[in-house]
């Protein structure tokens, strides 16, 4: 799994550069609260996720945060924020581009004037490349995790995740979880968001300008 520390550091550097003194942050797709926990010094933290199970874990990691069970493309809160983030390729898991545009609108609506919208995406290059590999395996806390990616259909790639672990009797038990990701060409993303936000930074995982070979791109925008 991705280490959250570099992502926290990346977001913090953008806040320090473009919104020093920020006091509030909203995470779209907060999951178990791993990212939110990295911003415990801010006065007001809010996380949105549609999974009550993940939010229950997040409530233990970040007890001071407001946690909301909702769809990240259609939520409505009674607050505005200095920063809105959507990281760990959460956006790719929204599998229609119309809903991406809805999410951009929700971020804009919930930002203070001049507030920051920071997000990342897995690119078409990455997902198409992964589809050419066979399964790969990881060991996580004594559990074997196998993954592969099916070729995209209408831009949607399917990750197949198999989890194999011992049950209470010592017998091996397996679980298959399909996970879909939508990849979108970068110019289309940037055109969709351009009318409401000012682009501050765009870079790939190595800190370079995005290119056709980039596998993940990190964006920082300011609300217009």
Tell me if 108 sits within 8 A of 115, measured CB to CB: no
- In the sheet that holds 156-166, the strands lie side by side as 136-140, 143-153, 156-166, 172-182
Q: How far apart are CA 52 and CA 85, in angstroms?
A: 20
- In tens, the pLDDT along 13-42 reads 999 999 999 999 999 999 999 999 999 999
* Strands (DSSP E) found in the chain: 24-28, 44-49, 66-69, 81-86, 111-122, 136-140, 143-153, 156-166, 172-182, 197-204, 216-223
pLDDT of amino acid 28:
98
CA 196, 189, 19 angle in degrees (round to 5)? 50
b/e for 125-134, b at 16 or more Cβ within 10 A?
A: bbbeebeeee
For the stretch 175-206, what's the b/e string if a residue is b when 16 or more beta carbons lie within 10 angstroms of its beta carbon?
eeeeeebbbbebeebbebbeebbeebebbbee
- Using a pLDDT cut of 90, give the percent of the chain over it: 79
Looking at residue 120, what is its pLDDT?
Answer: 98
pLDDT band at 7 (very low <50, low <70, confident <90, very high): very high
Model pLDDT for residues 133-158, shown as the tens digit of each residue: 878 888 877 788 889 999 999 999 99
Average pLDDT value over all residues in the chain: 93
Place of tokens 């945060």: 65
Where do the domains of the chain lie, and which CATH numbers do they carry?
A: 4-123+184-223 (3.40.50.150), 125-182 (2.20.25.110)
pLDDT confidence tier of residue 116, bands split at 50, 70 and 90: very high
Q: Give the pLDDT band of residue 169 (cuts 50, 70, 90).
A: low
Q: Is the pLDDT of residue 124 over 90?
A: yes
Separation CA 10–CA 106 (nearest Å)? 23
Question: What pLDDT was estimated at residue 47?
Answer: 98
Average pLDDT over residues 171-200: 91
Per the DSSP assignment, residues forming a β-bridge with 121 are 217
Interval 30-86: pLDDT, tens: 999 999 999 999 999 999 999 999 999 999 999 999 999 999 999 999 999 999 999
The confidence score (pLDDT) of residue 203 equals: 97
Full-model pTM: 0.91
Q: What is the pLDDT of residue 210?
A: 95
| C-alpha 152, offset from chain centre | 20
pLDDT at position 170 is 63
The pLDDT assigned to 173 comes to: 67
User: What mean pLDDT do residues 153-168 have?
Assistant: 84
Rounded to an integer, what distance in angstroms lies between the CA atom of residue 61 and that of residue 55?
10
**What does residue 98 show for φ and ψ, rounded to 5 degrees?**
-60, -35
Over 90: is that where the pLDDT of 2 sits? no
164 or 7: which leads in pLDDT: 7
Q: Are 214 and 190 in contact (CB under 8 A)?
A: no
């Amino acid at each position: 799994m991705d280490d959250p520390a570099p992502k926290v550091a990346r977001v913090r550097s953008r806040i320090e550069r473009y919104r020093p003194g920020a006091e509030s942050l909203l995470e779209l797709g907060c999951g178990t609260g791993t990212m939110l926990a990295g911003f415990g010094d801010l006065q007001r933290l809010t996380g949105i996720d549609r999974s009550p199970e993940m939010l229950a874990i997040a409530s233990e990691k970040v007890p001071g945060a407001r946690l909301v069970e909702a769809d990240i493309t259609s939520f409505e809160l009674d607050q505005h924020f200095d920063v809105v983030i959507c990281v760990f390729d959460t956006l790719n898991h929204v599998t229609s581009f119309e809903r991406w545009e809805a999410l951009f609108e929700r971020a804009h609506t919930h930002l203070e004037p001049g507030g920051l919208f920071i997000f990342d995406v897995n690119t078409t290059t990455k997902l198409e490349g992964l589809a050419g590999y066979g399964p790969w395996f990881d060991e996580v806390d004594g559990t074997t995790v196998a993954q592969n990616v099916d070729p995209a259909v209408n831009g949607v790639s399917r990750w197949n995740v198999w989890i194999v672990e011992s049950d209470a009797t010592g017998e091996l038990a397996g679980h298959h979880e399909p996970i879909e990701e939508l990849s979108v060409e970068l110019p289309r993303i940037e055109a969709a968001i351009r009318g409401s936000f000012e682009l501050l930074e765009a870079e790939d995982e190595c800190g370079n300008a995005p290119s056709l070979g980039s596998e993940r791109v990190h964006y920082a925008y300011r609300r217009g």
